[in-house]
Amino acid sequence: MIRVQQEDFDPGAELARLSQGNTSVGGVCAFIGLVRDMAGDREVGAMTLEHYPGMTETELARVEEEAQGRWSLEETLIIHRYGRLEPGDRIVLVAASSAHRQAAFDACQFLIDWLKTRAPFWKHEEGPEGAHWVEARGEDDEAAARWEEGEMGAAKNE
Amino acid sequence: MIRVQQEDFDPGAELARLSQGNTSVGGVCAFIGLVRDMAGDREVGAMTLEHYPGMTETELARVEEEAQGRWSLEETLIIHRYGRLEPGDRIVLVAASSAHRQAAFDACQFLIDWLKTRAPFWKHEEGPEGAHWVEARGEDDEAAARWEEGEMGAAKNE
Amino acid sequence: MKILYFAWLREKTGTPAEVVTLPDGVADVNGLIRWLSARGAGFADAFAEPSLVRAAVNQEHVKLEHPLADDDEVAFFPPVTGG
Amino acid sequence: MKILYFAWLREKTGTPAEVVTLPDGVADVNGLIRWLSARGAGFADAFAEPSLVRAAVNQEHVKLEHPLADDDEVAFFPPVTGG
């Protein structure tokens, strides 16, 4: 399931839904991303997440579908917020449930890695030194590249 | 933090504590293990988790301490239940919060992998064909062995 | 066609969205970037460093060589930074 | 010393816990297993397949070659299956 929303979400309620009424689930893996008070050595007062309505949902659905195709999963969930957020605020939740824990872990890591380089969100950070658009990070590209076709086994099974 | 208890836990409340009041946290990774209705091709009606009070807490604290030493983490949490559990019931929660998502993911996976081969718990399964003690699985040993000294980089950075 | 601009491309062009007729001689995204850049200082500035610009056509990531049709929805934006 | 038995070792020995004096000539966990196995059918059965038996001394996993002292807490159990 995909949700793109301005309002906060309740991780406990969301995660419960990944196994509720489904006793085939042996494990749920989840990742919650939050706004930090520092970005590198810059203080962050707040940030505004801009996105591309329509394409965001389409891309997140593609990422979810790709995960469902790669692993044997019971449920997957991506919730991503947009708008103005402050340090400590939740930005994103990705989660996967599966009969077996390794599939849940790998799928969850895949969801956030691919989302980071594909979902059309842009962070505008405000701090004491002014505001600026956050630059994409090479390490996010590398994290996503681990999951490229043909390298998947190498990335996770060694 | 370590908790060994018979009663259920509230994943939402527990996970909130991993970042509450700490704006250095950029990500929280969590894994929840649940009782499945099948173990291989055997139906599971219920299971009873026996443990070694005292050593359980000591071993879980060792696992947590090892994770804290290997990664730069803000908080870690292990909650493990014992006693009688039915399909759909939560067994275990492990979680790690960190400034950066990869440390949170790796530490969380490490916590469950090491716990599985070190914490003194034993599952006694009941099903339509009778009751039996669950046998340890070779793949759990392999998962734990990924984290042995010297193989860690190979396991996670390739 | 509809053209959308996000993040600093929106700021530099001063345009969140516009509707234009596919200009004569523009066959792909690169051609559209050249045509837009000739429109004025803001557009020239936005597209000055093509390596920083990403594009989507009909809400799908594409390379700048991607062909264009007049009923396409084209979007320009910097590398994404969500999550 | 205190000796604890868990899971099917508890069931086969019929003993969750007991206190014994470290027997003469028993220097390590293997020696204790041999001594316990001679006590009767239940104990012999519990320790019949040493490769299935794990031990902890003073609540720490040890190999079966681990030396023993009279004030140790020794535990016997199958490979763990938590999580």
Residue pair A99/A29 in contact by the 8 Å Cβ criterion: no
Tell me the residues of chain A between 1 and 30 that have a Cβ less than 8 Å away from chain C: none
Tell me the chain B residues in contact with residue A109 when contact means C-beta distances shorter than 8 Å.
105
Res A156: pLDDT: 42
Judged on CB neighbours under 10 Å (0-12, 13-18, 19+), B47 is buried
Q: Quote the percentage of chain A above a pLDDT of 90.
A: 91
Q: What does the alpha-carbon distance between residue A46 and residue A48 come to, in Å, rounded to a whole number?
A: 7
A11 and B15 in contact by Cβ < 8 A? yes
Residue pair C35/C26 in contact by the 8 Å Cβ criterion: yes
- Predicted complex ipTM exceeds 0.90: yes
What would the mean pLDDT of A120-140 be, rounded to a whole number?
95
| pLDDT single digits (tens) B29-70 | 999 999 999 998 899 999 999 999 999 999 999 999 999 999
Strands A46-51, A121-127: parallel, antiparallel or unpaired by DSSP? antiparallel
Res B150: pLDDT: 54
Residue whose C-alpha is closest to residue C16's, from C26, C2, C28, C29: C2
Is A64 or A154 the better-scoring residue by pLDDT? A64
Phi-psi region of B154 (alpha: psi -120 to 50; beta: other; left: phi over 0): alpha
**Res. B158: pLDDT tops 80:** no
Res B153: pLDDT: 43
Q: What does the alpha-carbon distance between residue C82 and residue B80 come to, in Å, rounded to a whole number?
A: 34
Tell me the whole-structure pTM to 2 decimals: 0.94
D36 alpha carbon, distance to own chain's centre: 8
Residue pair A120/A82 in contact by the 8 Å Cβ criterion: no
Strands B27-34, A27-34: parallel, antiparallel or unpaired by DSSP? antiparallel
Q: Is C55 on the interface with A (CB under 8 A)?
A: no
**Res. D38: pLDDT tops 80:** yes
Tell me the chain D residues in contact with residue B121 when contact means C-beta distances shorter than 8 Å.
80-83
CB atoms inside a 10 Å sphere around CB A4: 17
Q: Hunting for tokens 């009969």 — which residue is that?
A: A99
Q: Which domains does chain C have, with CATH numbers?
A: 2-77 (3.10.20.30)
Q: Is A58 on the interface with C (CB under 8 A)?
A: yes
Task: Kindly tell me whether chain B and chain D come into contact, counting contact as 3+ Cβ pairs under 8 Å.
Answer: yes
Res B40: pLDDT: 86
Tell me the chain C residues in contact with residue A124 when contact means C-beta distances shorter than 8 Å.
7
Of how many residues is chain C composed?
A: 83
Q: Quote the percentage of chain D above a pLDDT of 70.
A: 100
A26 and B33 in contact by Cβ < 8 A? yes
Please provide the DSSP assignment of A78-96 as one string. EEEE-EEE-TT-EEEEEEE
Res A150: pLDDT: 54
Residue pair A81/A8 in contact by the 8 Å Cβ criterion: yes
| pLDDT single digits (tens) A110-122 | 999 999 999 999 9
Q: How confident is the model at residue C1 (pLDDT cuts 50, 70, 90)?
A: very high
Tell me the chain B residues in contact with residue A153 when contact means C-beta distances shorter than 8 Å.
none
Interface of A with B (CB under 8 A): 10-13, 15-16, 19, 21-38, 87-88, 99, 101-102, 104-105, 108-109, 112, 143, 154-155, 158
What would the mean pLDDT of B134-145 be, rounded to a whole number?
94
Q: Which residues on neighbouring strands pair with residue A16, listed in sequence order?
A: none
> Residue C13 gets which letter from DSSP?
H
Q: Kindly state the tokens that stand for C22.
A: 């596919």
Q: What does the alpha-carbon distance between residue C48 and residue C46 come to, in Å, rounded to a whole number?
A: 6
* Residue D81 neighbours by CB under 8 Å, 6+ apart: B121, B122, B123, B133, B134, B135, B136
Q: What does the alpha-carbon distance between residue B71 and residue B99 come to, in Å, rounded to a whole number?
A: 11
Give domain A2-145's CATH architecture: Alpha-Beta Complex (3.90)
C83 and A50 in contact by Cβ < 8 A? no
Q: Is B143 on the interface with D (CB under 8 A)?
A: no
Is B151 or D38 the better-scoring residue by pLDDT? D38
Res C79: pLDDT: 98
Q: What does the alpha-carbon distance between residue C1 and residue A92 come to, in Å, rounded to a whole number?
A: 33
Res A158: pLDDT: 33
Domain boundaries in chain A? 2-145
Q: How confident is the model at residue A40 (pLDDT cuts 50, 70, 90)?
A: confident
What would the mean pLDDT of B92-113 be, rounded to a whole number?
98
What would the mean pLDDT of C10-33 be, rounded to a whole number?
97
Judged on CB neighbours under 10 Å (0-12, 13-18, 19+), D82 is buried
A-B interface: how many C-beta pairs under 8 angstroms? Answer: 108
Tell me the residues of chain D between 7 and 46 that have a Cβ less than 8 Å away from chain B: 7-8, 10
Residue pair B61/B96 in contact by the 8 Å Cβ criterion: no
Q: How confident is the model at residue A154 (pLDDT cuts 50, 70, 90)?
A: very low
D39 alpha carbon, distance to own chain's centre: 13
Judged on CB neighbours under 10 Å (0-12, 13-18, 19+), C32 is buried
Residue of B nearest to A105 (CA): B109
CB atoms inside a 10 Å sphere around CB C17: 12
| pLDDT single digits (tens) C26-78 | 999 999 999 999 999 999 999 999 999 999 999 999 999 999 999 999 999 99
Chain D contact partners (≥3 CB pairs within 8 A): B
**Res. B136: pLDDT tops 60:** yes
Q: What backbone torsions phi and psi does residue C48 show, to the nearest 5 degrees?
A: -60, -35
Please provide the DSSP assignment of A105-151 as one string. HHHHHHHHHHHHHHS-EEEEEEETTEEEEPPP-HHHHHHHHTTSTTT
Q: What backbone torsions phi and psi does residue C22 show, to the nearest 5 degrees?
A: -50, 115
* Residue C40 neighbours by CB under 8 Å, 6+ apart: none
B-D interface: how many C-beta pairs under 8 angstroms? Answer: 73
Q: What's the gap in Å between the CA of B96 and the closest CA on chain D? A: 16
What would the mean pLDDT of D15-27 be, rounded to a whole number?
97
